[in-house]
Structures are given as C-alpha cells and as structure tokens.
Structure 1
Amino acid sequence: MKKILLAATITSAFTAFTTSAFNDEAPAVYEDTSVEMETRVKDLVSRMTLEEKIGQMYNDAPAIERLNVPAYDYWNEALHGVARAGKATVFPQAIGLAAMWDDEMLYSVATAISDEARAKYHFYQRENIRYRYTGLTFWSPNINIFRDPRWGRGQETYGEDPFLTGELGVAFIDGLQGDNPDYLKTAATAKHFAVHNGPEISRHSDNYVVSDKDLYETYLPAFKKAVVDADVEAVMCAYNRVNDLPACGSDKLLKEVLRGEYEFDGHVMSDCGAIRDFYDPEAHNVVEAPAAAAAWAVKSGTDLNCGTGALSTFANLGFAVQKGLIDESLIDQAVERLFMTRFKLGMFDNANDTEYAAIPMEVVGSDSHLKLTEAASASSLVLLKNNGLLPMARDKKVAVIGPNANNEDVLLGNYNGIPINPITPLQGLEAHLGKSNVSYSPGSAIIDDIYGHAEILDSRVLFHRKDDGSMAKGLTGKYYSLKQGQISDYSNLTFPVHASDQPKLTRIDKALDFYFDRSPIDQQVLGNFGVIWEGFLKPERNGTYQFDSDAEININGNTVTGTIELEAGKAYPISISMQFADNKISNTSAITRKQFSVRWVNTTEALKRQAVDIANKADVIVAVMGITPRIEGEEMPVKLDGFNYGDRTDIDLPDEQKALLKALKKTGKPIVLVNFSGSAMALNWSDENLDAIVQAFYPGEATGSALAKLLYGDINPSGRLPVTFYRNLNGFADFDDYAMDNRTYRYYTGDVLYPFGHGLDYSDVTYSNLEAPSTLQSGEPLSITVTLENSSDFAAEQVTQVYVKMPDAPIRVPRVALKAFSKEPVEAGSSETITLTVDADELTYVNDSGESVAYTGSLHVFVGDGQPAHTPKTKIQHAVVNIAR
C-alpha cells in the first residue's frame, strides 16, 4: 500500500508544542485532528509519566484516564481470517492460500478479513470491551521460509520460496491495511524477524548460525518486500538467537537491516515471552536480570513486550532507567512508535472520520465472504496425481473413508476463528451426490488415541428426568452467575471464581455444542457464567469411550480422566460442569477463542473392518486421510511416533492410515486419496498404488463444497505446490542447521516425489512463442511474452511460472529460482498471450558478504507450468538472455 500521507506540519502548532514545557495545563495538541499525527503523538507521550509510558509498552496496555487514553491490547491474529474473536469467515490456512498462487485473490481474501476485523473492533468498542483479540493490530502474516518439512508451524507460512512468499506477503498486507491515504484499515505485522522456522521444542534456547549469504538470499527477502513494498506497520522479532544474539536484541537485525537498510518506521514487538528468554536459565540465559533484558531489547529497537504468563519484562524498565541501563529518551521513542500506529488506525479521532467505522457486523460471514472462501478453497486444492479417475462420474456409489472425512479440525488449521458454516468432506459429498449415494466410515484413528470422528454428545444419548418421572431428551442445564475472587496462591496465577448459590437460568439443552457470544443469564456480550448439565447418558453401543472437552465430566459420580467402559442401553447418571470466566492475567475472554463442545468416541469399534465392508459395496473410494493441526503446530504437548512437540520426525502417513489404505487397495476399487496436512507428506506408496491424489492442506470452512466440485469436474483444479514433497528425509541436515545447503527446491539435489510448483488439472494448456530479448542491459527489468493454448474442453485457471538460472555467477547460486508468476484464465479451445516482467532487483545474486550484485552473463529463462527439470517440453519454454554490464 502507499505510505500513510500525513498533513504538513503546522508551524504555529509546532511552536506551541515545543515551548509549552509539556505539562498537563498546555493545550491538548494531541486531540487536535488538524495537526499532523507525529506532532500529536509527541505531545501525548510528553504528557505521560515514566511509569505511564512503560505501561504502554505492554501488549495489554492499561488506560491513562487523565489523558483520555483507553486501555488497548495489541494482541490479535488474522492469519487466514479474524482469529480467536468468535465467529468469523475461515479461509484456507496460509499454506493453502499460497497454493492458490494468486496474489489478486489473496488480496481479496485479506480485504474480506480486514472488513470483518473492522466490524468486530467497532462492535466491541461500543460494548467497551478491550480484551485481547478485539483490537486492530494483527500479528499476521507469518512470512518465515518453510525450509524444512518437519516444521509444524510451516502451515502458517506461504511456503519455501522467498520470491513467492514476498509477493504473497505484500498482497496480504495490502489487503489488511487498506488503501485509505489517511488511515490504516488494520495494522499488519510481518513475523518472525528473523531466521525462524523450528524446531518448536527448543526455539526459546536455540542459536541459529547463518551466513550473510543465506541470511540475505533466503531469510530476509520477504521481510524487505513487506517493509519496502507494502509499508507493513509492524514487525515481530523472533524467539531464537541469530549468530549468538537474541533476535529481539540484535542490533544487526533491528537497527542495521530493518530500520537502516529497509527504512522501517513502524513498531517492533517481541514474540510472546521472548524478552523473558534473555534471562530464563532454561532459555537463552544471556543476562541475569529482567531489567537488563528489558533495557537491551529496547535499545536494540524492540518497542512492545508481549509477555503472556511471564507478565511483562518491560515492567522492569523503570529500574533500568534508575540504574542508568537505558535513557528515558529511548522509552519515549518506543512509545511514540506505538502511538503512531494507534493514531494511524484512527483511535484518537472521531470514528466518523474513516469509512472503515461504518462496516457493519453483518459483513462477518456474509454470503459474499462465504462464496470467496469456497473459491479460495477450490483454488488451494492441488491435484498431485490422476490416472484418469478424476473427474468422477456421478452415477457411482461412493465410499467416503478415513479419519479426516468428517473432521472439522482439518478445515481450520491453527490461528483460526470459529467458522460460520463448516462443511467437512463427507458433508460436501453428501450434499453434492445425495446421502443415498454416499456411505461412510472413519476407518482408523488419525494416530494412536487421536481420532478425527468424535461426535457431539446430543439428544440421541442424553436424557433428563421430568417432574412426572419419565425420561425426555436432553440434559438439564443450570446456569449460574460468577464472582471472581482474589489470588492467594501466587505460584498459580489464576483468580478463583465462585458461582452463585442458585442458578439464574434453568433450561433443557439438546446438544452440548455452543458458541456463547452473550451470557445466557443476562445477555451481556462476552459475559461470564457457569453451567452444570445434569441427566443421564444412554450409549447406543457397547464400548470403551473417550471424551474430548474442556469441561469436567462425571459419570456415575466419578470424574472421567481417561477412557471409560459403557454398556449399550444403560442409563448412566452424568454431570458436566464448566465455568466461563475471563482470565485477567492474559486479558482474554472465556468464550471468544473457540466453540464449547463435548465430544466422545468409541475407541473399541472395528473401524478398519467397517471401512472395508462399505468399500466392497461401493463403486469408488474417496479416502480422506492425513494429519491434523492437533498434532502439528506451535509448541504442542504432543509426543508421538513421528511427531515431536508440534514438529515432525518423519513425513510419512501414520501407520494406522497406511494399513487402512493397503486394506482398501485389496478391494480392487478405484481410490482417490485426499490428503490433509499443513506440511509436505511422503506419499510414496499412494503415488505408486492409488488412482488419484489431492493435496488439501487445511482449506477453510467451505472445504467440503469445494472438494466435491473438484472431484466431479464442476471446477478445474488450479492449485500448485508452494513446497516440495520429498520421498523421505534422507540427506537432510539436522533440523536446527540453518544453512541452506540441500534445502528447498533451489538447492535440493535429490529425487523428489512432487516438486515445488507442481499441480495437475483437467485441461491441457501448452506453451509456445516465448519472446524475450536476446540482450538486456544490467539494471533493466526483463519483459517476456508467451502464448498459452488450451486444447481441452475445460476452462483453465493457469498458473504460469518463470524460473531463471545464472550459470555465469562467480559463486554458488540457486540451481533454479522463481522470479515471476501469474494466474490467468484460458477458456476451453482458446489461446491467450500474456506478458510477465521480472524486476531488475530480481536479476541479481547475493555474494558471500550478503550484498546483492547485478548478474551479468547468460541468463537462462524458463516459462511454463513448473520447474524446468520436472515439466514436459510442451508445457514450458526456454530462452537465453545475455545481460551486459
């Protein structure tokens, strides 16, 4: 987006500002909207005491009532939809958005997200709610490079390529921040700066040693584009150390690169708890005192401390000033940067001054946004293999089998909102074909004791006793008011909560699946309350059951902590209790982050046998497998075979699912595998033995509808891989080795299963007539044209990729590197000639000192449907351009 245009400095106001001694009796220049923002901000900050200024450097900044500064929490998330703030349209996870290879659609997605963000913010403001996740400063996008397929948080990124990541990051930031010349729509944050992508288990203590060449060639380019091209408002520094220095205390990164080379003028925040890591004996442990850590971070350029459970290390800045560890002027500088963001967002102006305040709550989950998320989901699906099975005929009986077939988790990924209308693959196929044409079995667990088919406890098995002694469906819900007490145990920073003696509301609830946007007892927005549901549980089948809920569950008077054996038809007294109490320590609402539910699953069912039985009765099998964001993600308490605290130790399908696939193969029925994962999978057996494979990543709430349309040819696949799918991890360096040798398609020398940029479709688009100049002057952009011809009956959304090789570079350079791409419609039976431009800045290489050097010599240019080593000759064109000095 264009830089915020600030009004010219008004000389008279500036004179008054500089001579007023900045006392509280001086005119409130900061309240005068005719004065330029920088002057207003300086005036406001000058009126604060040291203690007040330091308080504004916490993510949950307190109010300063005497200056009419309201409390504000900077922490908010919008990775692929407004997250953790209740209901919101959930778009494909970031890795799926990258698989679209479509910066225009990504801009539309981000614009829809910022529409919903503005609507929610102003709604909460009207209710005087200032919890975390209700503001306008969004800690998205994550533009780290997905350099290793083991990283569990790779799902949050735009993949492994710096160019693709940078271009998509710019589009997303532009959509979040808007195009108003005077105000930001929201404030985007590029994270995590820098050299950050696992391992999760050791991120608080790791020191990543990286060469200047790899730093500038791989880890920094996307951040440069975010700052220079998109004018991103904020940057989050990372947990790890980089070349011995904590990223949030690195003068090299924050002063020399970010504010020096990139001329960044926004604010920098720490990742949450990262400043504590400076002195934590189990983390970096590079200083002994919190005050030293705080002073170090601020002097290096970290303006905001996200503290989480460690509260705020920056609370020690007063002591740091007192002892001379830091000058108060640097605190002024940090606070001014923070308030510039809030002023740009219009938080100290009349809300009517910006059109963004008029966006209504009705935009959240609107029809247009739900249509957009279905389009994005369809565009993100990548067809990896097809021997002719797809698109399928509609007159076939379909067996939908697999632990992710009816698993809502795989629609959402992590850092997600609560979906408006989630549609699982099973639901989508049933709606598309009719339930009578679809049979279903989960077939297996996802892995170990983690299941994807747990069901909501509802009136099929829940009963209560009526006054006349008869049994009726549902549980009796007794809703209580809550009163929060004072902490007495400071080893456990949780405020005690006391429920009222008598319920304020009693009702019958038929299903334990709720989103409470208002308290049922008084209709207060995000109000607190407690519930006890009582009645009887009557299972329909014998078995050993496992429950999934945050609630306390008692059956037959005993608290359920593991599995429990239950008999079919027997009525078990059941009590389920839950308190929805806000957390003052984290400044979070009890009910915004996720939907409350109680789910259960019978762990003793013969799932594989059931699956084979229904497969034998069907004409075709849709196997819906993969992993889930419950076992890959950010610093998770998951230690399973192949998974290590959110990361992966191998990239195969779990053994349970491989066994299921092999059993289904023996039926002789054609099989299409739909694989859900946020990371690359070694689908070697499936590639050799199955008829078709669709990589779904985590495609958003409209997954089921989009997938059904793709499988049956209502839409043509157009997704392309933003990461390489490897056959195994052989030849990979240790996970915490950050050298780029043999990593990503740019340097990997082994055989791959599916290359970066790969994706099939139902059309047949060929490339011809590449026109490129034979010579080019160094420092000039490269413009090329090429003709795309679609000889099929399917209209295509064709991704065209431009790669270059630099054989005359004097040092090691990438084997091949993406430098431009486009996504263009090509109608059936037609041709299109398109023009692509490679910017002069991309026709460079990085030397060993990290300097960008204009390339001269023979430049090999490849334009087509993928990388040159993996694309048929009819689908790619080659030219050689001589670049002269």
Structure 2
Amino acid sequence: MRKIASLAVAAALLLTGVSSLAAQDADKPGYLDTTLTPEQRAADLVKRMTLEEKATQLVNQARAIPRLKVPAYDWWSESLHGVAVKDVTEFPEPVGLASTFDTDAIHHMGEIISTEARIKHVQALKKNGGSSNIFEGLDFWAPNINIFRDPRWGRGQETYGEDPFLTGRMGVAFVTGMQGDDPKYYRVIATPKHYAVHSGPEPTRHFADVDVSKHDQMDTYLPAFRAAITEGKAGSIMCSYNSINGQPGCASQFQLVDQLRNKWGFQGYVVSDCGAVIDIFNGHHYRPTQAQASAISLIRGMDNECADFGKVSDNHDYKPYIDAVQQGYLPESDVDTALIRLFTARMKLGMFDPPETVPYTKIDEKLLESTEHRNYARKVAEESMVLLKNDGVLPLKPEVKNIAVVGPLADQTKVLLGNYNGTPSHIVSLLDGLKAEFPNAKITYAPGTQFLRPEDTLMPANLLTTPDGKPGLKAEYGEGMGFETKPKPITDRVESNVNLTESSIPAEAKSKDSFSVQWTGFITATETGDYVIGINADGFAAVRVNDKPVAQGWGAGLHTGRIHLIKGEKAALSVTYGHQKEGKFLARLIWNKYDPTPSPAAVEAARKADVVIAAVGITSDLEGEEMPVSEPGFLGGDRTSIDMPQPEEDLVQAVAKAGKPLVVVLMNGSALAVNWEKEHANAILEAWYSGEEGGSAIAATLSGKNNPAGRLPVTFYTGVDQLPHFEDYSMSNRTYRYFHGKPLYPFGYGLSYTTFAYKDLTIPADLKAGEPLSADVTVTNTGKLAGDEVAQLYLTFPSVPGAPIRALRAFKRVHLEAGESQKVHFDLKPRDLGMVSEAGDPLVSAGEYTVTIGGGQPGTDAPNATAKLKINGSLSLPE
C-alpha cells in the first residue's frame, strides 16, 4: 500500500505539470518558478539532488547545496510562549495561558510571537549571508498539547492542562495565530508536540513503552492533536520519544499512518523529537541497526530528524539514511516523499521567493519588544491569575502602609520565564511590581530561606585538586558544544578554578563558532555537611559529583543542586560547559553551605507588618525536561511529591505565627497540595510562571486594579495518595473527568472580587443525533466591582460505558460591569456532544444529558444554571 501511495503521488505531480519542468529555461529552474504550486516546485528541486544531498536535508541541520542555491537551514526553533532567543517579548508559561480560558488572547499572542520571529529571522539571514542556524528559522516546535494527566510530570507546565477540549481550543488558537491567514505564505509554521501519548516520567522516556487503550487514546490523548491538524491546519507535527503499545512514537503505524495521514488527512511534515529516531534503535531496540531504525521511521511518515543541537561538522547525523537506501531498507522514493513535504513547507514560508514578494519580510523591526507587545504580555498575565482563596483581605486596602514580603521567589525574575523561554530585555519581579503598585507603603523584603536562592559564590580554589593531585582542575577544550558527540580536541591545561571569562578563555577556543570545556578533578571539603553546588553559565552547563548528575541547564543563569560532603574525603568533580557564538563567555563554579531554616529577619518583618505576602512555590530548575534534581520530592525533572517544598512550608508557617494577614502567592507550573495554606492563609493567589510582566500583573491583582478571573486548567489534589501510579497511562481516576475523590481545588475553579449569577438557560429539549446544539444563558455581575467571568459549559452523559463523569465542551470569557447582564451563546457541533465508547469508538450516544453552564464545574460552589437534553438515536463519529 505504501509503494502504491508513493507512485500515486508521483503520478499526480507528473499530471499537474512537473514533467514539463525539465524543458524550462535552465536559468530559471522549476523550483524557482513562483507560478507553480509549492508541491510542484518542491518536487522539481528534489529530483535534481543526489542521494547524499537528499540525505543532508532529512536532519534538523539541513546543509547548504550551493549548486542548487539551497541555503543551509536549521529546522529547530522554539516559541512555547515567546521566541526562544534574546530581546523578545515573553508571555506566561502555557499552563498559565490555559488558565485565561481566553482563546482570542492566545490567538493574538501567537500573532505577536510569530511577528517577532519573522523579524529575528530576517536579521539572522542578513547576519549569516542567507543561511539560518538553530533558533533562527521559521519552523517552531510549539505548542505542547500533550495532556497534563498527572501533576508529577515536570513538563506539564508547558501544556494547556489536563482537559482535551480546553487543550484543543488553546492549541488551535495558538497555531492559527502563529501561521497567519495569508492565502499563499505562512507567517511561520507551528508544530504541535509531542504526538501523542506522552506525559512522563521523564527519566524513562527514551525507552518506555506506554500501554494505553484505544478508548483513552481517542477520548484523551488524540483529540487536541486532531483539532490542531484538522481545524488549525498546523503545517507540522512532532512525534514523541516513547513507544505506544509496542511501537515507537516516531515509527507508529497507528499514530503516523492510520490516524495522522489517513484519518485526519495531514499534508504537512513530521519532525522527530530530538534523538527520538536514535531511540528507535538504541532505546527501544525496535530495529537491530540505526540504518534500519532510521528507515522504518521515514517509511512510517517521519520526515525530518532532530539529531543535533551543537553545530555538526561531519556526516554522522544523515549517514544512516544513505546506509539504509544502499542496504535496501529504505526506497529512495520514500526519501523523495519526505523531502517534497519539507521543501513544500519552505516554499510556503517564502524561502525560495524574492523577498519583496513575501509580505512577512518587511515587518518593522521596532515591533520587537514594543510597548504594545509588552502591554499585551501584561494583559495575558493578568488574565492568568487564579484566586484560590480570599477571606476579604484582598484586594489590599489603600491604607495598608507596612507590607512584609517574604519567600525566596519575590525578587527573582528567572522564575517568571518558566522553561523553553526567550530572554526579554525587561522583566518585572514581584518585589519591583509591588513597589510600583504601592508607592506609599513601606515594603520590607526578607527572603526567609536559602532554598531556591543560591548565591553566586565562587568555589574556594583551595578545595580543588587535579586528577593527579595538583592544585586546580584539568581543563580540556574541544570544538563543538560537546554534549552530543565527543568534541574535537583544541587544547588542555590546568586551571585554578572554574571561572571562565572573555579574558581567560584560550584564543584557540575563542575563535570557534562553538566550543566546549570539561573540567575534572576533586573537591575536598574542610567541613562535613550539605552544600549547594552548581554553575553560573551562559550556554549548556552540567555538574557531576562522584559520577552522579547534580546540576544541568541551558542559557544564562545559575544551575545548582545539593550534595553531601564529608570532611577530608575527596569527591570526584566533573564540570561541562558548552558555548555558542555570540553568547557571553561565562562559567563559574559556585557553592554555598546549605541551611534551610527560616530566617529570623523574615519572622521579624512579619511581626512589624500590616500584611504579609509570601512568594513561594517551585521553579523550572526543579520541574522540567529530563534533568538532574537533588532536592527531596523531585526526580529527573518530575516530582515524587506534590507538597510545597519543606523549607518554604516551614517559612510560611513561621511568619504566620506573627498573627498578621497572610497572602500566599504561588509561583509554579503544576499543582501544589497547599493543604495547610488553604486552612490557615487569608488568601492564596496562583500566579504560575507569569512572564516578563508577571510582577506587575501579580501586584495589580493584589491591589484590585486587576480583578482576577483565571480558572484552574488542572485539578489540585490533596497529595500523591489521591493519584494512580505515575507510569500508568489509563485515565481511570485521573483528572476531573474520571477522578472520584474530593480534590483540594477542582478543575475550572477560580474566585473573583465580585460575584456572578446564571439564569435563563435555554436549550432545545430534544435533538436528533448529529444535529448541533445551541445554548443561551444570561450571566449577571451581582457584585459591586467590574470583572471578567468565565462561563463554562459542561455535559453530563447518559450512563454508557466509556463516558466521563462530566466534560467541558464550551467556554467563553466575558467582561461585565457591576450590575450588568449579558446573554452568552454557545454552539456545539456533533463532535462537541460526543463521547468515546469503551471499545474506543467516537459517537453521539442516545439518551438523556445534563447541560450545565456556570463559573465552574457542576457540583462545586460555582454559580450555574442547568437543563436537561434528550438526544434521539446515536451517530458514529469519524476518528
């Protein structure tokens, strides 16, 4: 069937005119003829290539082909909530974006991000003579629309939460905002990821085989991807690391062929997660050689392999494809099919057209980090705020004159950016936001704990010895970033410490586009105890002690972990740093003696204050993508506990003893089991990782200038004892749709400084299966303040095996002045009324439904209106 399909594609291209291209003027080959379709142009270009030239285009670092005037292009760029480069606008982490329940805002955010991406791309082309390197392209590996099924997953912060419907709506909004609406050209290409059954654990992702029912795939894991492709028209999609029911995600017949290509009609290209094709051989052992693994991935529909981050100088990344063709595992026609998809995408991005004909090449550079964009980042951050508890202390009264701010995160800015982030030139911390919002108040700040606050204190050089016992460390410099392949040696020497600056770097390394250095030796502590150790770096950095990973990170900043050292005993040390051109030359080995106890200064500040604001939570250095974390409650980027970290819990309880009103501000990317805070704090504000204007948005919410209306996109559980085993992908007793316990805070929950009421819910009493549903309800602001309300429509289904307890199927964020009423209208398509049978078949079932529209889930304290609906007959829905 595959060969027949490939022949059919080839025949179709011939019939539409490709066969006549050879007769065209040699000065203007067909692939440069803008009157042809992008597919025709791509096919013409591909047929002119040699096998090796073709292979060089199958990897993320696509090489230049000078004789065909094909520039080098790196397919790897990131834009999860802002372009992942410097001097760009940065929005809240996606879990915070989801809490806005505002698809219009996410769509416009996508427009802003892609506008800045186009500007950065044009700048890169000018700088690089027409080529673009990593993070400089127009293909962006976002959004992450995996389902956040378990709060322990470290990358859940990157998603739009636990609900397939909400995730689908947010994903479509992001994709369409990014890609634009020009009939000929993409602004950029969006890449929903990681297709599809992928949400931890992080340490096992390269070899794990997820066992999942067809019901859970159709009901939970696939719908958001289906929406992004069939409705959002995403031009690309990324396949995952893990295997699903015995087949690796990047070689899955069910996902890539049956669903994506056949059922959904996807015409774009598939990119692999980075290293996922290598995992097919090396992790999953699905094929006995790398050539065979690469072949089966391409045959099943993977078109572009993400193979390397650092600049590649040999052919190790693309050679397996040449081997696969030459050894008979991979028909060259399948290579052509993949390349036609890839070059069709580049044609639609305008990469082979005169720049003056492409509308997105002329965007005003002044839009980068413009006031308009920054203001929108603040608007979205304000919309993302979720008020979890308030006994009346908020908004803070104007007469509050003495504010104590405690907690390790209040003055930090890195925490606001989450992960997969760019670096804006302007970031507002909570402390700075409070000072601006309350200029007449005395604000006293005491961090209160060393936790999450490593100091940039250089490791004492007298504690370090080289492998052969001399003072200092052995430093080995190599060409390339050095964390994927063994770098080519440049030079080595003994250095007294890890303290690399522009003036201290060897000239031989400084001249390279990228270089790496590895320091090795020993630490010998003069006192037994726990220590924070790490590296302050601008680049890739990692620290290992006694051959165990302790700290690792990307980009500028401190990356730390905790170790225990015994007086007089040598501990083996290895520090790695990878530097890319144009980054700062910075790598400092830091350490601090660890003391987690609450500081007396914080307690004293609380005692003297009128109100205490505690900024606590976790950061993306604790939860994230496959990384070493040495703190209790965390493992490999995931969490083993969802409790507040103990040093912060101790601090909050210590300052609470002062008896002053206590406002807890949470910064985090996943649910925290704040049981004590719910019982004892006066107010709790969930702020997430809120972006460059996060501090301003939080402060405005505390003052009442922003009336919070965000809603939880995830369930807050009371603890891990309410959760199934993390590695179990069954949805039984997971998320609000299938959880039978009582959560700490439910999905869809959020308070306001005003109140709302719902009435006059109008729906038809009966529908025939397959007919759409129209619903109207009147929402009234019954309070004294203007504010937003998020009207949420939930369905409760007939008692049919496979049906969830309830499911969100529509929502709308509306603004109402005090006393104002507004009629809110919803239209539900047949798929919105559908469910999935126990066997995995999507359908609209006959029977009685309950329709509830309100400020939260039915059965909670949220105001709502309810009506019954009967659907006559049943209808099978297409997969």
| Equivalent of residue 666 in structure 1, options 652, 657, 663 | 657
| Alpha-carbon distance in 2 for matches of 1:815, 1:625 | 34
Q: Does 1:862 pair with 2:852?
A: yes
CA change 1:294–1:633 in 2 (3 A) is same
Deviation at 1:625, TM superposition (A): 0.3
For the 8 Å contact 2:80–2:158, the answer to whether it is kept is yes
Determine helix, strand or coil for the equivalent of 1:549.
Answer: strand
- Which amino acid in 2 is paired with 1:142? N
**1:308 corresponds to which residue?**
308
**1:539 corresponds to which residue?**
none
- Which amino acid in 2 is paired with 1:185? R
CA change 1:485–1:843 in 2 (3 A) is closer
CA change 1:155–1:707 in 2 (3 A) is same
Determine helix, strand or coil for the equivalent of 2:372.
Answer: helix
**1:202 corresponds to which residue?**
204
**1:474 corresponds to which residue?**
none
Q: Does 1:317 pair with 2:305?
A: no
Deviation at 1:884, TM superposition (A): 1.4
Post-superposition CA distance 1:539-563 (Å, at most 9, x none)? xxxx9997751289xxxxxxx9999
Post-superposition CA distance 1:256-282 (Å, at most 9, x none)? 1000000000000111001111121xx
For the 8 Å contact 2:449–2:596, the answer to whether it is kept is no
**1:399 corresponds to which residue?**
404
Post-superposition CA distance 1:231-267 (Å, at most 9, x none)? 0000100000000010111111100100000000000
Deviation at 1:830, TM superposition (A): 1.2
| Alpha-carbon distance in 2 for matches of 1:243, 1:26 | 52
Taking structure 2 as the reference length, what is the TM-score of the superposition?
A: 0.84
| Alpha-carbon distance in 1 for matches of 2:145, 2:273 | 14
Q: How does 1:260-339 map to 2 (within 5 A)?
A: 260-280=262-282, 283-308=283-308, 314-339=318-343
For the 8 Å contact 2:58–2:304, the answer to whether it is kept is yes
Q: Does 1:106 pair with 2:103?
A: no
Q: Percent identity?
A: 41
Deviation at 1:98, TM superposition (A): 0.3
Determine helix, strand or coil for the equivalent of 1:715.
Answer: coil
Q: Does 1:245 pair with 2:238?
A: no
Q: How does 1:235-634 map to 2 (within 5 A)?
A: 235-280=237-282, 283-308=283-308, 314-396=318-400, 397-434=402-439, 437-446=442-451, 451-452=452-453, 454=455, 493-496=486-489, 548-550=535-537, 581-582=579-580, 589=581, 591=583, 607-634=598-625
For the 8 Å contact 1:406–1:452, the answer to whether it is kept is no
Post-superposition CA distance 1:6-40 (Å, at most 9, x none)? xxx9x999787415669996950111111221111
Deviation at 1:438, TM superposition (A): 0.3
| Alpha-carbon distance in 2 for matches of 1:326, 1:289 | 13
| Equivalent of residue 181 in structure 1, options 166, 183, 187 | 183
Post-superposition CA distance 1:802-835 (Å, at most 9, x none)? 00011243x1310000000000111112111111
**2:638 corresponds to which residue?**
647
Determine helix, strand or coil for the equivalent of 1:299.
Answer: helix
**1:804 corresponds to which residue?**
795
For the 8 Å contact 2:180–2:186, the answer to whether it is kept is yes
Deviation at 1:324, TM superposition (A): 1.3
Q: Which runs of 5+ in 1 are unaligned?
A: 1-8, 458-483, 500-511, 532-542, 553-559, 565-576, 583-588
- Which amino acid in 1 is paired with 2:305? N
Q: Which runs of 5+ in 2 are unaligned?
A: 1-9, 459-476, 493-498, 518-529, 542-558, 564-574, 874-879
Q: Does 1:830 pair with 2:820?
A: yes
CA change 1:423–1:101 in 2 (3 A) is same
| Alpha-carbon distance in 2 for matches of 1:65, 1:819 | 52
| Equivalent of residue 768 in structure 1, options 756, 759, 766 | 759
For the 8 Å contact 2:852–2:867, the answer to whether it is kept is yes
For the 8 Å contact 1:294–1:313, the answer to whether it is kept is no
Determine helix, strand or coil for the equivalent of 2:599.
Answer: helix
Deviation at 1:456, TM superposition (A): 10
**2:40 corresponds to which residue?**
39
| Alpha-carbon distance in 1 for matches of 2:126, 2:51 | 30
Q: How does 1:205-216 map to 2 (within 5 A)?
A: 205-216=207-218
| Alpha-carbon distance in 2 for matches of 1:216, 1:21 | 46
**1:58 corresponds to which residue?**
59
For the 8 Å contact 1:423–1:701, the answer to whether it is kept is yes
- Which amino acid in 1 is paired with 2:383? S
Deviation at 1:308, TM superposition (A): 2.3
Determine helix, strand or coil for the equivalent of 1:369.
Answer: helix
| Alpha-carbon distance in 2 for matches of 1:673, 1:847 | 43
For the 8 Å contact 1:403–1:453, the answer to whether it is kept is no
Q: How does 1:719-734 map to 2 (within 5 A)?
A: 719-734=710-725
| Equivalent of residue 705 in structure 1, options 670, 691, 696 | 696
Deviation at 1:109, TM superposition (A): 0.8
CA change 1:210–1:578 in 2 (3 A) is closer
| Equivalent of residue 831 in structure 2, options 831, 838, 841 | 841
Determine helix, strand or coil for the equivalent of 1:131.
Answer: coil
Post-superposition CA distance 1:312-369 (Å, at most 9, x none)? 6542111211221111000000000001111100000011112211113221111001
**2:172 corresponds to which residue?**
170
| Alpha-carbon distance in 2 for matches of 1:562, 1:735 | 24
**1:742 corresponds to which residue?**
733
Q: Does 1:881 pair with 2:869?
A: yes
Q: How many residues align?
A: 789
| Alpha-carbon distance in 2 for matches of 1:277, 1:852 | 32
Deviation at 1:395, TM superposition (A): 2.5
Q: How does 1:779-798 map to 2 (within 5 A)?
A: 779-798=770-789
CA change 1:12–1:296 in 2 (3 A) is closer
CA change 1:491–1:186 in 2 (3 A) is closer
**2:72 corresponds to which residue?**
71
For the 8 Å contact 1:515–1:596, the answer to whether it is kept is no
CA change 1:455–1:881 in 2 (3 A) is same
For the 8 Å contact 1:271–1:306, the answer to whether it is kept is yes
For the 8 Å contact 2:93–2:688, the answer to whether it is kept is yes
| Alpha-carbon distance in 1 for matches of 2:752, 2:512 | 46
Post-superposition CA distance 1:742-773 (Å, at most 9, x none)? 00000000110000000001011111111111
* Higher mean C-alpha displacement, 15-24 vs 172-181: 15-24
For the 8 Å contact 2:482–2:516, the answer to whether it is kept is no
| Alpha-carbon distance in 1 for matches of 2:632, 2:779 | 46
**1:573 corresponds to which residue?**
none
| Alpha-carbon distance in 2 for matches of 1:419, 1:388 | 35
For the 8 Å contact 1:23–1:47, the answer to whether it is kept is no
Deviation at 1:494, TM superposition (A): 2.4
CA change 1:598–1:207 in 2 (3 A) is closer
For the 8 Å contact 2:249–2:255, the answer to whether it is kept is yes
For the 8 Å contact 1:406–1:453, the answer to whether it is kept is no
- Which amino acid in 1 is paired with 2:169? E
Deviation at 1:172, TM superposition (A): 0.2
| Alpha-carbon distance in 2 for matches of 1:526, 1:443 | 44
* Higher mean C-alpha displacement, 216-225 vs 12-21: 12-21
CA change 1:174–1:595 in 2 (3 A) is farther
**1:6 corresponds to which residue?**
none
* Higher mean C-alpha displacement, 30-39 vs 728-737: 728-737
**1:557 corresponds to which residue?**
none
| Alpha-carbon distance in 2 for matches of 1:857, 1:563 | 58
Post-superposition CA distance 1:42-85 (Å, at most 9, x none)? 100010011111110010100000000000000000000001x2
CA change 1:615–1:485 in 2 (3 A) is closer
For the 8 Å contact 2:561–2:630, the answer to whether it is kept is no
CA change 1:342–1:392 in 2 (3 A) is same
| Equivalent of residue 756 in structure 1, options 736, 747, 768 | 747
- Which amino acid in 2 is paired with 1:726? Y
